[in-house]
Amino acid sequence: MAFRARGWRPPPPPLLLLLLWVTGQAAPVAGLGLDTELQIERRFVPDECPRTVRSGDFVRYHYVGTFPDGQKFDSSYDRDSTFNVFVGKGQLIAGMDQALVGMCVNERRFVKIPPKLAYGSEGVSGVIPPDSVLHFDVLLMDIWNSEDQVQIHTYFTPPSCSRTIQVSDFVRYHYNGTFLDGTLFDSSHNRMKTYDTYVGIGWLIPGMDKGLLGMCVGEKRIITIPPFLAYGEDGDGKDIPGQASLVFDVALLDLHNPKDGISIENKVVPENCERRSQSGDFLRYHYNGTLLDGTFFDSSYSRNRTFDTYIGQGYVIAGMDEGLLGVCIGEKRRIVVPPHLGYGEEGRGNIPGSAVLVFDIHVIDFHNPSDSISITSHYKPPDCSVLSKKGDYLKYHYNASLLDGTLLDSTWNLGKTYNIVLGSGQVVLGMDMGLREMCVGEKRTVIIPPHLGYGEAGVDGEVPGSAVLVFDIELLELVAGLPEGYMFIWNGEVSPNLFEEIDKDGDGEVLLEEFSEYIHAQVASGKGKLAPGFDAEMIVKNMFTNQDRNGDGKVTAEEFKLKDQEAKHDEL
């Protein structure tokens, strides 16, 4: 029902309808026996009767009028319209004026009115014979008084009420609209859509404008409105007749003002908050999304995946862009977003138009694309002079976790170290950077942003996409690597007859077996050293292939060269 405001006018002078008192009627007729007095039989009285008819009230009622023999002379039902009149102001025959007093809405009375209290000896030409006793079967539909105001009965109040409806607020509510007798004329529930409107600026009938003020979200109240604060004498031209009191059973779902900004309620703030989010940061967070009345509409938890986004750059609704600024990792907060900073009048999906949104968020991590790694050293041994560098072979233990403390992996749990050659691409770039300039026995924490870790994709089933990683590391062993570009070096002077020493059979050709045997012998004796952390056989095979210039599977003296003799190869 579109509650358009209507002006109201004072009731015009009453029309002289069928039941109106005829002025100048004759004196009562004697000899009528028991029919000389007004008789009232209360055939149905409702259980609840908050109000009864008093002189001066305006009533709407249905009736059937008959003579004592049962012959009908009039009926409001035949006209499909109630009889509407003031009581006690001479607008009715005296018997009806008296009979209506004390009635409840929905009460049914059978009334016998003697001629002296009806139309007397004159009757009504062609309708009521003179000296007629009249029987009326009356059903009262409505009562109001010109002094009435809007009546409010709150039957449910939510436990907390941080805000109530004020003039110019925009509200979303459900209602059932009935007449005073309980007849339903409209319901937003039947349409499965809330009624959305501004309050106090003339978009509603005056009584509804007044009846909604002061409500809390979640509150339920019954608002009873007299017709002169509703649709007045004319009704709405469709479902609401003229002079009808209206009863609205209202449940308030939503409330905001166009001037509202977002509101933030901090639920949990970590004690240590070294950094707060800023515009341009990339956040990973969980959330539950509800409407203001608690209706659920979305949750990242149900998808078992965080919502990942940049903030302050328009990737999310304006209210969330603002509400996610200044958060700490691990913080939980509630962000309330008015519709003009959310999904507006149109809504989206299962979010209705003009809905206030409530997000309960938990920040898992955030970073900025300009971030580098962060290193915090917790322990260094007294002798920390030998530091790791590119090419060194490292053995270390680690615990890997997310910023919120979720454990991803642990070499301690596996009972074996993780072994790599630093700078060889065997770990993510951030880890490679974090292991440099570390000494054996040192313990440090390395925080790696995703662009130096596993990126947007993450590792399926192990590392979430765009996750910041935290590694707690202890370096256990360091084997110094070779100079950059070398896979094998001599620890002393190189024999001037190196080719002849390798070519044991003296046939002028060195096969892979001869080459491999010789190199391993030099390493075993300490005269040579292979790059640590790599497959020794693969290094030796690559060295041989580099020397075998023509690829015939053997190396001649002409092909054989040392590293410093041909810099572009990494063989000897």
Helix locations, 2-137, DSSP H: 94-100
Distance CA 251, CA 155 (A): 10
DSSP, collapsed to helix, strand or coil, labels residue 325 as coil
145, 58 Cβ separation under 8 angstroms? yes
Query: Nearest-CA neighbor of 325 among 216, 333, 84?
Result: 333
Query: What totals of helices (H) and strands (E) does the chain contain, helices first?
Result: 10, 28
107, 100 Cβ separation under 8 angstroms? no
Helix locations, 429-502, DSSP H: 429-434, 498-502
Distance CA 6, CA 236 (A): 9
213, 169 Cβ separation under 8 angstroms? no
Phi-psi region of 375 (alpha: psi -120 to 50; beta: other; left: phi over 0): beta
pLDDT of residue 1: 46
What lies within 8 Å, CB to CB, of 508 at 6+ separation is 556, 557
What lies within 8 Å, CB to CB, of 272 at 6+ separation is none
Distance CA 458, CA 451 (A): 10
Residue 288 dihedral angles phi and psi, to the nearest 5° = -115, 130
- pTM given for the model: 0.76
Cα angle: 520, vertex 526, 530; to 5 degrees: 50
Which residues, listed in sequence order, are joined to residue 75 by a DSSP beta bridge? 64
98, 90 Cβ separation under 8 angstroms? no
> pLDDT tens digits, the chain, 572 residues: what are they?
434 433 333 333 332 333 433 333 322 322 333 457 999 999 999 999 999 999 999 999 999 999 999 999 999 999 999 999 999 999 999 999 999 999 999 999 999 999 999 999 999 999 999 999 999 999 999 999 999 999 999 999 999 999 999 999 999 999 999 999 999 999 999 999 999 999 999 999 999 999 999 999 999 999 999 999 999 999 999 999 999 999 999 999 999 999 999 999 999 999 989 899 999 999 999 999 999 999 999 999 999 999 999 999 999 999 999 999 999 999 999 999 999 999 999 999 999 999 999 999 999 999 999 999 999 999 999 999 999 999 999 999 999 999 989 999 999 999 999 999 999 999 999 999 999 999 999 999 999 999 999 999 999 999 999 999 999 999 999 999 998 888 898 888 888 888 888 888 889 888 999 899 889 998 998 888 998 988 889 999 999 998 888 999 999 988 888 766 654 434 45
Distances (CA, A) of 551 to 109, 187, 253, 339, 519: 120, 90, 82, 74, 20
Query: Nearest-CA neighbor of 180 among 238, 110, 234, 230?
Result: 230
What lies within 8 Å, CB to CB, of 497 at 6+ separation is none
pLDDT of residue 565: 62
pLDDT of residue 564: 62
- CB atoms closer than 10 angstroms to residue 369: 11
559, 511 Cβ separation under 8 angstroms? no
DSSP, collapsed to helix, strand or coil, labels residue 442 as coil
pLDDT of residue 492: 85
Residue 98 DSSP class? H
Distance CA 452, CA 473 (A): 17
Cα angle: 297, vertex 300, 303; to 5 degrees: 105
162, 152 Cβ separation under 8 angstroms? no
Residue 128 DSSP class? B
331, 325 Cβ separation under 8 angstroms? no
User: In the chain, what is the greatest distance between 2 CA atoms, to the nearest angstrom?
Assistant: 161
Amino acid at 512: L
Domains and CATH numbers, the chain: 39-144 (3.10.50.40), 151-256 (3.10.50.40), 264-367 (3.10.50.40), 374-479 (3.10.50.40), 488-556 (1.10.238.10)
Query: Nearest-CA neighbor of 324 among 405, 259, 258, 264?
Result: 264
